[in-house]
Amino acid sequence: MKTFYSLTLFYLLVSFICKSQGQCGGQCGGQCGGQWFGSRCQYLCHCEGPCDATGDCVGDSICAKGWFGPKCQYKDLTNVPDASVVVDPAQHSNWLNDGDDFSCSTNPHFHSVHVSWKDSYPYTWMRIVTFDSSILLTMKVSFKTSPSSSFPELECVNQHVIVTNQYSIDVYCEMNVTVQEVILKGVKSMCSLYISGGRNTALKQRAIQSSNYTEDPFEFNQASNAVDGDTRAMYLNRSCTHTALGDLAPTWTLTLDVPIVAKLFVLYNRYEFNATVHNRLQNFVLEAYDKNNRTIFIYQDPSSVGQLVYRVPNVDSRSSTYTVKIKATSAKEGLYLTLCEVEIYAECPAGTWGLDCNKSCPDSCGLCRVEDGSCTTMCAGKSDPPFCSIECPTKRWGVNCLSNCSLHCIDQMCYPLSGECMKGCFGFQNPPFCTTNCAPGYWGDNCTQFCSSHYDQTACNGQTRECFKGCQAGFMLPDCILECKRGFYGKNCSHRCSANCLGGHCNPTTGVCLTCVSGFQGQFCDQECTPGFWGSNCSQSCSNHCDQVKCNGQTSECLQGCLEGFQLPNCTI
């Protein structure tokens, strides 16, 4: 027993030294001392260097890697250990998540980013830092629930974009599933990307437990140990809770200052060398309640053995959590509840902002910037800033629906966010982008129709099928489908048939008359009848009773009169 207490005193001394030094190494100032700030010293400093009493980074210091946003309180999922960041075309991507908003892509061909994780995460919003806010016109956000190529991409649901300055774009999506990949396409210029994992709202909140372990003479097992910011897993570090022997329903309860939208619960279990105390948390139950004490979320651990760290995502983006309860259910190692830390990564409810989520967004907008409550001036794919609730009208897309859908789209219909063609291409062949002309000889919807076989030398217009170089002889513009109208022939039907063609009819290709009017003969009816003949094509002979057998080629009237015994005009009587 004496040895046990000696070891305990040793661990207490080490723990005290560690806690007093804190993560800032004694550099963080303010009334809270150490690494804390806030009205109740409830926020941890996440600066690379020291923080001042308000939580701002001192001097030129910026947020430590993995943190961003107001007072560096938001966890950046692009920097968690299992994150993979890939840009296209392939290049190093350090500039994208190094926390330096002035280190940017220098590749002029840069166009997409893929961020993936081994674990699944709830998605709420991301921040894009760019010096070219026009990427809003081309940017497309999508997600995958698995990085496998066989899983389809999911579109951003109810996308809401907050643009309050020329550098920063916040993109919100209401995804009702956890995701393993975030995909950004059409982003030709970027400097930084932060994907919000929320901020830890559990720190220093009001914690109670159903009982306290009394067999420990030092009694450093109070409920508040689970929200002290110390994730170390050994009980002797004075950073874990512990309920009493005989407590048949061990429960730990946390009540928040204000309701929040909880997105991820992280539980740090107790761990001891050569011990199995971590199994006590196996099959725990986690429940979340709103301010009216209505249950809004329930989770029970399904694992067969206790885990060192539990991650419990919540994809509900509308319900606000006020109270959280964690209950032990396994009696494998005795019915105890021991928690070394509980983190609740959350966002402010819609319509509120600030670290304490106690400030209201302006009445003119339902969602505002987390730093200052400012509203957006731009809507992506919506027409009514700052609410961004009304879809673009037909044939319009983009920021505030100011852009017209491309004439390359069938019926000029396009997606309101990306401008990509919704129903396919009209006169172009690469839907949904519709930027590549039809191959020679094709036109129409997605270039599936043939140009006329009567075009001359080259292809036709992909949208109008008008033949670029005109038509072969016998067919008329614009599309070389119809033969020449009566009275015309030749290339583009640009020549008139001979006036001596009967009825104006001639071959549309050659101009050869089908039949000549009376008094003319030849292919083009340009020759008068030879003496002794008359009529159409000069196919009839003059009367033998005409003097010298000569007659008018059109009327058959004898030109020199009749022989004796016959009378004019044609000497047949």
Positive or negative, the CA dihedral 309, 310, 316, 318 is negative
If asked whether residues 331 and 266 sit together in one domain, one would say yes
Beta bridge partners of 450: 442
Beta carbons of 209 and 243 less than 8 angstroms apart = yes
This prediction's pTM: 0.68
If asked whether residues 286 and 194 sit together in one domain, one would say no
pLDDT tier, 350 (very low <50, low <70, confident <90, very high otherwise): confident
If asked whether residues 284 and 234 sit together in one domain, one would say yes
| Residue 287 domain flag | yes
| Residue 343 domain flag | yes
If asked whether residues 546 and 564 sit together in one domain, one would say yes
Distance CA 98, CA 96 (A): 6
If asked whether residues 227 and 325 sit together in one domain, one would say yes
170: exposed, middle or buried (Cβ count in 10 Å: 0-12, 13-18, 19+): buried
Task: Give ∠ CA 87-72-46 in degrees, rounded to 5.
Answer: 105
| Residue 315 domain flag | yes
If asked whether residues 287 and 165 sit together in one domain, one would say no
CATH number at residue 266: 2.60.120.260
What pLDDT, on a 0 to 100 scale, did the predictor assign at position 321? Answer: 96
- pLDDT (tens digit, 9 = 90+) per residue, 91-114? 777 888 888 888 888 788 888 999
What pLDDT, on a 0 to 100 scale, did the predictor assign at position 18? Answer: 40
What does residue 313 show for φ and ψ, rounded to 5 degrees? -80, 155
**Of the candidates 149, 176, 199, which is a domain's last residue?**
199
Region for 124 from its dihedrals, namely left if φ exceeds 0, alpha if ψ lies in -120 to 50, beta otherwise: alpha
Above pLDDT 90, what percent of the chain? 50
| Residue 476 domain flag | no
If asked whether residues 337 and 226 sit together in one domain, one would say yes
What pLDDT, on a 0 to 100 scale, did the predictor assign at position 2? Answer: 36
pLDDT tier, 89 (very low <50, low <70, confident <90, very high otherwise): confident
| Residue 158 domain flag | yes
Distance CA 561, CA 452 (A): 58
DSSP classification of residue 10: H
Instruction: Give which of 354, 289, 358, 342 is closest to 319, Cα–Cα.
Output: 289
Provide the 3-class DSSP secondary structure of residue 236: helix
DSSP 358-417: -EEPPTT-SS--TTT-PPPS--BSBSSTTT--SBPPTTEESBTT-EEPPTTBGGG-B-TT
If asked whether residues 195 and 212 sit together in one domain, one would say no
Instruction: Give which of 2, 94, 28, 408 is closest to 229, Cα–Cα.
Output: 28
Q: 275 pLDDT exceeds 80? A: no
**Of the candidates 300, 327, 352, which is a domain's last residue?**
352
- pLDDT (tens digit, 9 = 90+) per residue, 441-477? 888 999 998 888 887 766 788 888 888 888 889 999 8
Q: 1 pLDDT exceeds 60? A: no
How far is the CA of 563 from the CAs of 448, 547, 549, 566, in angstroms? Answer: 74, 6, 10, 6
What pLDDT, on a 0 to 100 scale, did the predictor assign at position 468? Answer: 81
Supply the range of the domain harboring residue 104: 74-199
* Cis preceding-peptide flag for 569 (omega within 30 of 0): yes
| Residue 510 domain flag | no
If asked whether residues 219 and 264 sit together in one domain, one would say yes
User: Which range has the top average pLDDT, 194-208, 215-229, 434-448, 525-539?
Assistant: 194-208
pLDDT tier, 292 (very low <50, low <70, confident <90, very high otherwise): very high
> Total domain count for the chain?
3
Task: Give ∠ CA 470-476-480 in degrees, rounded to 5.
Answer: 65
If asked whether residues 217 and 331 sit together in one domain, one would say yes
If asked whether residues 91 and 163 sit together in one domain, one would say yes
pLDDT tier, 4 (very low <50, low <70, confident <90, very high otherwise): very low
Distance CA 377, CA 136 (A): 13
Length of the chain: 573
Provide the 3-class DSSP secondary structure of residue 334: coil
| Residue 13 domain flag | no
**Of the candidates 161, 180, 199, which is a domain's last residue?**
199
| Residue 553 domain flag | yes
If asked whether residues 192 and 217 sit together in one domain, one would say no
